[in-house]
């Protein structure tokens, strides 16, 4: 009698773990491998160009529909793994329609992107905002992949930020008008009052 290759002991020893999980999933209909809406979770979105930014000159804000206690906990968690020399006391938390966290000016583009992603993973309605004299954008973590943050500038340019890129060196937004981006209510960062220029 011919045995299928899958059931030979040597196959189990030399096969990669993911292949075993894939085989079990296909054979028994189990959901072992996580799916990401036709994405592998690691893919970088294509771009049609890059929009350079000077991240050192501008306000960095996190807006989140969460409690102050949860926000403080998320910031402390973030500070344990961030690369910068940031202090908890330098983050200013204020309440309004949502919690608004003013990040310290010295936070890097890389750390701010990771903090945005960290908040979005723990509190679904969270956004990272960058405001400067020449560029303002909002961003949030895209649930279709692990490492893409998507957003839009105030002049309508859609973009992604791939968090596995070298964001210390590559400080730009990856433009792509084909991205699906949720809209953001700018009144959320102004305690419900629309300000001019935003």
Average pLDDT of the segment spanning 187-198: 53
Q: What is the pTM of this model?
A: 0.74
pLDDT at residue 71 greater than cutoff 60:
yes
pLDDT at residue 192 greater than cutoff 50:
no
Spell out the domain ranges in the chain: 49-190
**C-alpha triplet 107, 59, 198: angle, nearest 5°:** 150
- Cα–Cα dist 73/197, whole Å: 33
CA dihedral 140, 77, 169, 167 (to 10 degrees): -30
Residue showing tokens 């750390």: 111
Query: For residue 34, what pLDDT is reported?
Result: 52
Residues forming beta bridges with residue 187, ordered by sequence position: none
- What percent of the chain stands above pLDDT 90? 52
Output the average pLDDT for the chain.
81
Query: For residue 105, what pLDDT is reported?
Result: 92
Query: For residue 19, what pLDDT is reported?
Result: 59
**C-alpha triplet 69, 75, 78: angle, nearest 5°:** 140
Query: For residue 163, what pLDDT is reported?
Result: 86
Q: Give per-residue pLDDT as tens, 132-176.
A: 999 999 999 988 888 899 999 999 999 999 988 887 787 899 999
Backbone angles phi, psi at 65, to 5 degrees: -90, 70
193 confidence band (pLDDT: 50, 70, 90): very low
pLDDT at residue 89 greater than cutoff 90:
yes
82 confidence band (pLDDT: 50, 70, 90): confident
Q: Give per-residue pLDDT as tens, 2-48.
A: 545 555 555 555 556 655 666 666 677 666 555 544 444 568 889 99
- What percent of the chain stands above pLDDT 70? 74
């Amino acid at each position: 009698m011919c045995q299928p290759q899958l059931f030979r002991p040597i196959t189990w020893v030399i096969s990669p773990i993911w292949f075993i999980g894939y085989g079990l999933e296909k054979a028994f209909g189990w959901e072992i491998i996580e799916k990401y809406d036709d994405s592998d979770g690691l893919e970088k979105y294509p771009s049609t160009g890059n929009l350079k930014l000077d991240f050192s000159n501008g306000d960095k804000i996190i807006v989140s529909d969460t409690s102050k206690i949860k926000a403080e906990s998320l910031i402390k968690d973030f500070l344990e793994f961030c690369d910068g020399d940031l202090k908890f006391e330098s983050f200013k938390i204020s309440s309004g329609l949502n919690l608004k966290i003013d990040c310290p000016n010295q936070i890097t583009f890389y750390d701010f992107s990771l903090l945005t992603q960290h908040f979005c993973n723990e509190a679904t309605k969270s956004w990272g905002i960058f405001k400067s004299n020449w560029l303002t954008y909002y961003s949030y973590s895209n649930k279709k992949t692990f490492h893409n943050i998507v957003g839009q500038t105030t002049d309508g340019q859609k973009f992604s930020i791939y968090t596995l890129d070298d964001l210390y060196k590559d400080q730009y937004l990856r433009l792509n008008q084909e991205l699906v981006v949720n809209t953001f209510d700018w009144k959320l960062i102004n305690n419900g009052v629309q300000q001019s220029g935003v």
